[in-house]
Structure 1
Amino acid sequence: MAVTKEELHRLIDQITDPADLEIAYEALRAVVESDQDQSWFWTEYWQAGEREADEDKASGRISGPFGTADEAVRHLDRAAAKGGNDED
């Protein structure tokens, strides 16, 4: 959804309650001042991966938890030897 600055200003002008205006201000400020180092997380590409991971988790297509990185690597090695099926 594309919104113009004019439309945003029009919405803000409709806010009459000072408490609501403060909430809108804080929300907009958070967007403007957001840490650009984290902006990748909100890209459509990354969000698609997040949705895929959520679906995998909900469907039980996950492994672990593992106590160490070595345990995880051994698990992946065994899965690769079985032809990619990582279910043990």
Structure 2
Amino acid sequence: MAKMDADRDGRISSTEWRLQSMPQANFEELDRDRDGTVTLRELATSPPAGLDASGDGKLSAREMTFGKNAPKVKAGAASERRETSNENE
């Protein structure tokens, strides 16, 4: 949230959301009270079903961006990349 909250007011405005190239439809799903901002409280509640691709009850940055269409990342992929890059050094 800190990265997205450019003015550090504890809320993500629609403008701040768009500056991160996030889909407006996802912002609207997260803005549960329809006040034009997404707060930490709104992010902490159970995520909308349309965004929680993994079904784990939490939203990752990938899910906030892509929702149910979030590309799946193979478990351990990051560590495999590190191991490969270390082998090449």
Normalised to the residue count of structure 1, the TM-score between the two structures is 0.33
Return the index of the structure with the highest Cα Rg: 1
Higher RCO (C-alpha 8 Å, min separation 6): 2
Q: Which structure dedicates a bigger proportion of its chain to helix?
A: 1
Q: Which structure dedicates a bigger proportion of its chain to strand?
A: 2
